[in-house]
Structure formats: structure tokens, C-alpha cells
């Protein structure tokens, strides 16, 4: 053992002396594709609408928009609309990732999560098939964008704006782009989920019916005339029909679908001023031509179309605009969605077609993947919750969890939107983590679609490890409390403003039977020969009653706590009296006055327990000396005898300094792993890196190795 430790120390000391002044010895960022895949899949659970499944892992989400005509599906982005055109594209790309790279998903242990999330979206898309027409959207984008708050309180927030009559749905027959996309997703899902689901025939049945409606109409008239056109206007529909027909051929083997695909080719986009099929763009929600072309080349083996695929890849690799660091830059708005989808298409093409020049294409898709994960001139990860420098303020209503319908309040998102790929850098390669910049910091289901499939490929090819005990419980801020203000103080009594606050976010919610207690000492009243029943209590304002009789506060009689300390309890049986949906509703004010018997002089506000924080300020103050209860159980504050709530934040898994190999113990294996990192023969993921920094100085070197030695057995 001594010899081994000596060897580890000696082999590490030379390099540690050279790098000990640097913040890190790992000049090239560690890329953990399995972790990125794990978190990207999780992001889709953050987007779930309707009744949440038992397997949903997001502690800050709950059932939402439960009155939708079709429940389920994914909210599109940072908003709360279900747009079926981009949703179907996203589901199809996830299905393709599973279809093409199941081994990468399986080997890192994410198969169950992947299948669950894909199936959740497909169930919704299938339910949108009404037989003779199809639903293509639920929710109105124009109205939805008038309120900024967590989706769990959507109905309350929209009602607060006035004129809300529920969420509409849009259905029809002349929506060939959306329906083609839906058919493609369901057909791709039926292919990908074979052996993982008993619903593959069900998905295929709806894929064929929706495709039939889309093909017969060959029109987007109803779609373009709807609310959808203001957000996801379709540029064309033959590309979606082509995309769907190729997937249906894969799913059924029916040559009629391949013939359909062939018939659409003359109608596909051409290069400007040319009859040549377009190659100079990227796979995305509005243009599935390149994905369809790759499938068609696979399905036919036709050298003409293999050459078309190669021409597109050559454009991406050497013809398109690139940023420093190698990111292909197709368009400004959400540039990373195009780069990730381009990387995925390139990887699939390399793995399924004989193209030549594979090494250049492999370099291309690896560069796109790595750029997203932090290997770029900014050393910036563009995936929330991944890497040491990750976005924190993605443009996302529920993750932000504002309590007053305000994009800038609070300053930072209250939740970690793990796995969300943000829009990315601007055309100059710059990026600012700014929630209000939705061009670069928006997130969306379609952004993560190609990215997820690409991470499955990269995990299959390069490996990686998922994060154990993911996701860790979040550190919660206070959800309920009282802000108090002394409005007036004199010998005859006090006048108080008591604002009961609901800033719930785990999840945002209505909680009935809430109450709080204001404590005061009546020693001076007793000394004057009076009793508690002689104290005059006056209610000067009940804000809750303004919203309706059903919301009004209940004010208790003066109640004894202990000795001469008494309290008044303000109760809200109906929790909807106070909600984190607007500036007015996020708190509910009760104005109370306590007056000495017979309005005589002698009241002493200085000895009242609940006044400790408010005596020497004119401002409203959050105070723990006014205690809050739910169903009579203390949940916030400290009672006069020192009693505190017996509920705490969920514990986080313990991080063990020195546990470099993440096996929840410190042993010689950790010393070996750390030594390998120091001498540059291996890398560490973020959790391992944090544990390896034994002395917490931000550096990894011989001194950390020495610290770990104390745990090793002595001989």
C-alpha cells in the first residue's frame, strides 16, 4: 500500500506543480454524452401537459390544463400551447433516435425514460385523430402570451387577465403539413417502439388514417387561417407528406407508400433559380425534406438520392456558414436546433449509406455535439444543468415561476430546467444568459429533438455515464409567509397591515385551509384590570372579500397561547384567495387594529412577539414571528416558545469529498482515478470533479490526492 501511494504521489507531483496555479488541469472540457442524453430526455417531462404520469420526475410540475379537449402532449416551448406541427416533428426525431441508436440509450440505462417520454407524446398525437378530421392545436397562442406564470395556475392567471373562456382547440382536414408530421411521428414511433411497447399497431393505425386525410387534402388552408400561423406558419406541406410516406413504408413494407413518396419528389423545394432539389438548408420543424430524402435513399438504395443526401452533407460540412469553434450556423433564431439536427442527420447518413469521406462527416457531427456541450470559444454549455458554465435563465414560464406575472421577477429562474437546449449564440458567436432574449435563450421541444437523437449516437459511439440520483431535490425558498407593516402605533393600540403571501413553486398551487397567527402580549391589559376579551379587535380591510364572498378571510377571536401571550388567527379556507399569478393576487392583505379596552392609553407594542421585525421600520417586512399553518400544522415561522416546523427541504444526496469514482465511499480506487486525471490519461464528469477537489480550492492537483490518503487503510 505504501509503495502504491508513493507511486501515485510521485507520478502526479510533477504535473501538479506545473498546473497548481491554474483553475483546472482539464484544458479540454469533459464531454459526457450519456449525462447530456439523460438530461435531454428529462426536459420532455418538464414539458408534459395534462395529468402527469406516475413516472414524471419533475418535483415542480403537477397536473395542468385539465380541461383541454385533448389532454396530454407537450407544451411547445416556454409557453403553454400545444402546437402539433413542431410537436410531431419533435416526437418523430425522438423516435428516429431510438430506432437508429437503441444501443446507446440502452447501455447508459435510459431506455425506460426514453420510451416513456416518446410514448407520452405519441399517445396525445393518436388521440388527436377524430376519424374524419384531426386536431392540430390546443390553446390559443395570442391569448397565452398575455400571461407569464407557471402552467399549473394557467386558468387562474388567464382569468385574472379577464375574458378567459377556456382553451380552444383547432381541428380540420386541410392541414397537410401538420397532419403529415403527425403521421410521420406515429409511424416512426411504431417502428422505434417494437419490442418496447404494445401500442405499436395502435400508433400505426392512426398514422395511416391521419396520412390519408393529409394526402387527400394536399392543402394547408385551414392551418394557415388559424392561430397557428402566427407562431408556426407552414412554408410547404409536400416535405411532410414525403417524410410521412417514407416512415409509413418502413413501418408497413407497403410499396404503395414508397410510390407516394416518389410522387411527391417533383413538388419538393428547389434551389433558388434552379430545378435542382434543395440541399442548402437544414432539417427542422418546418422543413423535413432532408430527413425524408435520407429515408428515401435508405428505402430505395437509389444512387441518385444517395448523391442528394451527400450533397446536403457537403453543404453542411463545407458550404454553410460556420462560427468560430465549428458550429454550423443556419439561422439566427435558435441556431443550435439546426446544428444539432444537422449533426444527427449526418450521423445517421454515415451509419446507413455508403457515402465516402466518412471521417470528415464524423468530425462535423462530433463538433456540433461538442459545441452544444461546452467545447466552444466561450467554454459555454448551452444545455441547462449540464457542465460548469450552463444557462440558468432560459425563457420558460414555469421554470422561472414568477409570482406576479413579470418576466424579470424574480431575477433568476427558481427551477433548473435540466436538459433544455437554449437557442444558442448570435451570429457573432456571443451569448448572454438573459431570459428576456428569447431568440438566443428560448427553449422548445423541437430544439431538443435532433439533439436527443445525436446524444444517443454519441453515447453509443463514445460512451459516458449518467448522473446517479438524478435529479437532485431542489433547494426551496419559502412558499408561504406574511409581510407585516406597522401602520400606526400609540398608547391606545396598533394598526397593522398583514399580507399573506403565496409564492408556491414546488409546484405552484392552490392550497386550502391556510392560516397565520399574529402574537401579542397583554400583560399591560391584565395589569390595568382587564382581560383578553376586553381588547378591541377591528378589521379595517379584508382584501380576499373583494374577490367574492367565498374567498373572505376568517378572523378568530383572541386566543390564548401561553401565559399572557395571545394571538389572532387569520384563516383562508379557500386557497384561491391568494395565488402567485399577479401583483395583486400573490399576496392578500388583512388590516387589523388592536385597541386597549375602552380606548384608554396603555398599550405596549414593544413587548408583542410578532412585532420584533416591524417596530423600527416603515416598510413591509417578511417576518418569521408571524407563523403560518396548513390544516393547523405549522409550516413557516417560529412560535413564541421556539417551536419550528417539522418539515424541511428534501435532503440532497450527500457529496463525499474524495469519492472520485462515485461509488459512495473513499478507497484506493479513488486515488487511482484521481491520479489518472492529474497525469492526463482520463477525464472526470462534474460530480466526480467536485468530489476530487478535496480541499475545495477550485483546482485538482497533488494536494487533493494527499487529502484522500487519510481515508486509505494504514499498514
Active site residues: 79, 395, 433, 442
Q: Computed from CA positions of residues 5, 6, 8, 12, in that sequence, does the dihedral angle turn out positive or negative?
A: positive
Distance (Å, whole) CA 333 – CA 354: 33
Distance (Å, whole) CA 601 – CA 494: 11
Q: Say whether the peptide bond before residue 507 is cis (omega within 30 degrees of 0).
A: yes
Residue for grid cell 430526455: 41
Give the cell for residue 279.
440541399
656 close to 666: Cβ distance less than 8 angstroms: yes
Of 479, 481, 473, the closest CA to residue 507 belongs to 479
Phi then psi for residue 463, to 5 deg, are 80, -160
* DSSP string computed for 201-230: HHHHHHHHHHHHHHHHH---HHHHTSGGGG
Give the cell for residue 698.
477550485
Per-residue b or e along 293-325, where b marks 16 or more CB atoms closer than 10 Å to that residue's CB? bbbbbbbbeeeebbebbbebbbbbbeebebbee
* DSSP string computed for 667-694: -HHHHHHHHHHHTTS----HHHHHHH-T
Give the orientation angle of helix 2-19 with respect to helix 702-709, to 10 degrees: 150
Radius of gyration of the chain (CA): 30
End-to-end CA distance of the chain: 7
Distance (Å, whole) CA 332 – CA 437: 12
Q: DSSP label at 551?
A: G
Residue for grid cell 383547432: 170
120 close to 57: Cβ distance less than 8 angstroms: no
Q: In what order do the strands lie in the sheet with 82-83?
A: 82-83, 134-138, 169-172
Residue 617 burial (CB < 10 Å; 0-12/13-18/19+)? exposed
Amino acid at each position: 500500500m505504501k509503495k502504491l501511494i508513493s507511486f501515485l504521489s510521485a507520478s502526479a507531483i510533477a504535473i501538479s506543480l506545473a498546473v497548481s496555479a491554474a483553475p483546472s488541469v482539464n484544458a479540454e472540457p469533459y464531454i459526457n454524452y450519456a449525462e447530456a442524453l439523460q438530461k435531454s430526455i428529462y426536459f420532455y417531462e418538464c414539458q408534459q401537459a395534462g395529468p402527469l404520469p406516475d413516472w414524471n420526475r419533475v418535483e415542480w410540475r403537477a397536473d395542468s390544463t385539465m380541461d383541454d379537449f385533448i389532454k396530454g402532449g407537450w407544451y411547445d416551448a416556454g409557453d403553454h400551447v400545444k402546437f402539433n406541427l413542431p410537436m410531431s416533428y419533435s416526437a418523430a426525431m425522438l423516435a428516429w433516435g431510438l430506432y437508429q441508436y437503441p444501443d446507446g440509450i440502452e447501455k447508459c440505462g435510459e431506455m425506460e425514460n426514453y420510451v416513456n417520454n416518446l410514448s407520452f407524446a405519441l399517445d396525445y398525437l393518436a388521440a388527436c385523430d377524430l376519424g374524419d378530421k384531426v386536431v392540430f392545436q390546443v390553446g390559443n397562442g395570442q391569448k397565452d402570451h398575455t400571461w407569464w406564470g407557471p402552467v399549473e395556475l394557467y386558468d387562474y392567471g388567464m382569468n385574472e387577465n379577464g375574458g378567459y373562456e377556456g382553451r380552444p382547440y383547432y381541428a380540420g382536414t386541410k392541414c397537410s403539413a401538420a397532419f403529415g408530421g403527425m403521421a410521420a411521428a406515429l409511424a416512426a414511433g411504431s417502428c422505434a417502439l417494437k419490442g418496447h411497447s404494445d401500442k405499436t399497431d395502435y400508433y400505426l393505425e392512426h398514422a395511416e388514417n391521419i396520412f390519408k386525410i393529409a394526402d387527400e387534402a394536399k392543402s394547408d388552408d385551414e392551418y394557415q387561417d388559424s392561430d397557428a400561423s402566427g407562431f408556426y406558419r407552414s412554408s410547404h406541406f409536400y416535405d411532410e407528406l414525403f417524410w410521412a410516406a417514407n416512415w409509413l413504408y418502413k413501418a408497413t413494407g407497403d410499396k404503395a407508400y414508397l410510390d407516394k413518396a416518389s410522387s411527391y419528389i417533383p413538388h419538393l423545394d428547389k434551389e433558388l433559380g434552379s430545378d435542382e432539389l434543395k440541399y442548402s438548408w437544414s432539417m427542422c420543424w418546418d422543413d423535413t425534406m432532408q430527413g425524408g430524402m435520407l429515408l428515401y435513399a435508405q428505402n430505395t438504395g437509389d444512387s441518385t438520392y444517395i448523391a442528394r443526401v451527400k450533397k446536403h452533407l457537403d453543404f453542411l460540412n463545407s458550404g454553410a456558414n460556420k462560427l468560430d469553434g465549428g458550429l454550423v450556423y443556419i439561422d439566427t433564431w435558435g441556431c443550435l436546433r439546426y446544428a444539432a439536427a444537422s449533426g444527427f442527420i449526418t450521423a445517421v447518413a454515415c451509419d446507413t449509406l455508403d457515402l465516402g469521406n466518412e471521417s470528415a462527416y464524423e468530425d462535423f457531427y462530433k463538433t456540433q455535439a461538442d459545441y452544444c456541450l461546452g467545447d466552444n470559444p466561450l467554454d459555454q454549455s448551452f444545455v441547462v444543468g449540464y457542465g460548469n458554465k450552463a444557462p440558468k435563465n432560459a425563457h420558460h414560464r414555469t421554470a422561472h415561476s414568477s409570482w406576479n406575472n413579470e418576466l424579470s421577477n424574480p431575477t433568476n429562474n427558481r427551477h433548473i430546467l435540466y436538459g433544455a437546449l437554449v437557442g444558442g449564440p448570435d451570429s457573432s458567436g456571443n451569448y448572454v444568459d438573459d431570459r428576456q432574449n428569447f431568440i438566443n435563450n428560448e427553449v422548445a421541444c423541437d430544439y431538443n429533438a435532433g439533439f436527443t437523437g445525436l446524444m444517443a449516437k454519441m453515447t453509443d459511439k463514445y460512451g459516458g455515464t449518467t448522473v446517479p440520483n438524478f435529479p437532485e431535490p431542489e433547494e426551496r425558498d419559502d412558499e408561504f409567509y406574511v409581510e407585516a407593516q406597522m401602520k400606526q402605533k400609540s398608547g391606545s393600540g396598533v394598526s397593522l397591515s398583514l399580507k399573506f403571501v403565496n409564492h408556491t413553486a414546488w409546484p405552484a398551487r392552490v392550497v386550502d385551509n391556510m392560516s397565520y397567527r399574529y402574537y401579542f402580549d397583554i400583560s399591560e391589559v391584565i395589569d390595568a384590570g382587564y382581560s383578553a376579551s376586553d381588547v378591541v379587535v377591528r378589521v379595517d380591510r379584508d382584501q380576499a372579500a373583494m374577490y367574492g364572498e367565498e374567498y373572505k378571510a376568517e378572523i378568530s377571536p383572541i386566543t390564548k397561547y401561553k401565559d399572557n401571550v395571545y394571538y389572532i388567527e387569520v384563516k383562508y379556507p379557500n386557497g384561491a384567495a391568494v395565488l402567485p399569478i399577479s401583483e395583486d393576487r400573490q399576496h392578500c392583505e388583512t388590516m387589523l387594529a388592536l385597541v386597549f379596552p375602552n380606548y384608554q392609553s396603555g398599550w405596549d407594542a414593544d413587548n408583542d412577539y410578532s412585532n420584533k421585525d416591524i417596530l423600527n421600520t416603515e416598510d413591509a417586512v417578511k417576518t418569521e414571528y408571524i407563523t403560518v399553518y396548513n390544516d393547523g400544522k405549522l409550516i413557516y415561522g417560529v412560535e413564541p416558545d421556539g417551536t419550528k416546523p417539522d418539515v424541511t427541504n428534501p435532503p440532497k444526496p450527500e457529496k463525499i469529498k474524495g469519492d472520485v469514482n462515485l461509488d459512495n465511499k473513499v478507497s484506493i480506487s479513488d486515488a487511482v482515478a484521481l491520479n489518472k486525471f492529474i497525469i492526463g490519461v482520463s477525464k472526470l464528469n462534474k460530480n466526480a470533479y467536485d468530489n476530487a477537489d478535496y480541499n475545495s480550492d477550485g483546482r485538482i492537483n497533488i494536494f487533493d490526492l494527499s487529502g484522500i490518503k487519510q481515508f486509505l487503510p494504514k499498514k
